[in-house]
Amino acid sequence: MIEKITLGTYEGVTILRDDLLPGGTKSIILPDLLDTKSFDELVYASPVYGGFQIALALYCKKIGKKATIFCARRAIKHPNTVAVLKAGAKIVEVDHGYLSVVQARARDYVYAGLVDKRLPSQYLIPFGAKSDISRNRLVNRVKMVIKKLGKEPDEIWCAVGSGLLFEAILIGTKKARVCGVIVGKDFSLSKDVNFSPSLGLRAHLYNYPRSFDKPSKVLPPFPSTSNYDAKAWDLCVQYKIGKTVLFWNVL
């Protein structure tokens, strides 16, 4: 598969326009992540603002599998929920939909399927599709982006949800400051990954001052998710210090 890498430049920052990929950055990990021969229904618990649910819905439509997305119920459906429905996925809306509650309902759904031995077989994708396979796939993309740039930038900025992309950027670079803006729950580097002390020294994390459900105070001059990437852009333009800076726009 030939991966599209589109770059732009705004306010002196190079932008990786993964929002132009159908489903964003995480769309590239799905072919490697999922054993589509073993499972007929792919289940995922998502914040309504999340981008992976769109990538999953589009991918399942492409390969002829069923996608079931659990999310919080809202009086008016979020645009991402509408996009998932348009892609043909099933949406299960959960009352009192804190992410932990939504995830519990998704687990119950898959467990009930196992007990009833219902067909089709189901697979519950972990939050953010976080796994060694996914991380390694994104590390490869990081290296491809650097190759296209011609050199490793001084800084790379991204939003941090599950932290999968942030960790992949750390692993895929040699000297860059990797700056992540935490937009949801607290994040720390995965304990099952052997991050060297030098990697840890290059990791810089910022907490965005608004909760996940509140949009960014600043919108970038390119299409970007207001609850996610736009928040990283807001802090990037305020706190970047490198001469060469890459901003990773996921969706």
pLDDT over threshold 70, residue 173: yes
Contact 124/107 with Cβ under 8 angstroms? Answer: yes
Looking at residue 163, the DSSP 8-state letter turns out to be S
Distance of CA 122 to the CA centre of its chain: 22
Q: How far apart are CA 6 and CA 228, in angstroms?
A: 20
User: Is the CA virtual torsion 41, 45, 47, 52 positive or negative?
Assistant: negative
Instruction: Look at residue 220 in the predicted model and tell me its pLDDT.
Output: 94
Which two three-digit tokens encode residue 65? 């599998």
Contact 29/138 with Cβ under 8 angstroms? Answer: yes
Contacts of 82 (CB under 8 A, 6+ apart): none
pLDDT in tens, 125-172: 988 888 888 999 999 999 999 999 999 999 999 999 889 999 999 999
Residue 72, SS3 per DSSP = strand
Q: How far apart are CA 67 and CA 91, in angstroms?
A: 9
Instruction: Look at residue 11 in the predicted model and tell me its pLDDT.
Output: 87
Q: How far apart are CA 20 and CA 4, in angstroms?
A: 9
In the chain, domain spans: 7-26+130-249, 35-124
Contact 174/152 with Cβ under 8 angstroms? Answer: yes
- Domain at 35-124, CATH from 3.40.630.10, 3.30.40.10, 3.40.50.1100, 3.20.20.80: 3.40.50.1100
7-26+130-249 and 35-124: identical CATH topology: yes
Which two three-digit tokens encode residue 117? 């031995």
Q: How far apart are CA 46 and CA 126, in angstroms?
A: 10
Distances (CA, A) of 221 to 8, 132, 214, 237, 244: 11, 34, 19, 12, 19
Comparing 34 with 183, the larger pLDDT belongs to 183
Confidence label for 187 from pLDDT (cuts 50, 70 and 90): confident
Q: Which CATH architecture has domain 7-26+130-249?
A: 3-Layer(aba) Sandwich (3.40)
pLDDT over threshold 60, residue 112: yes
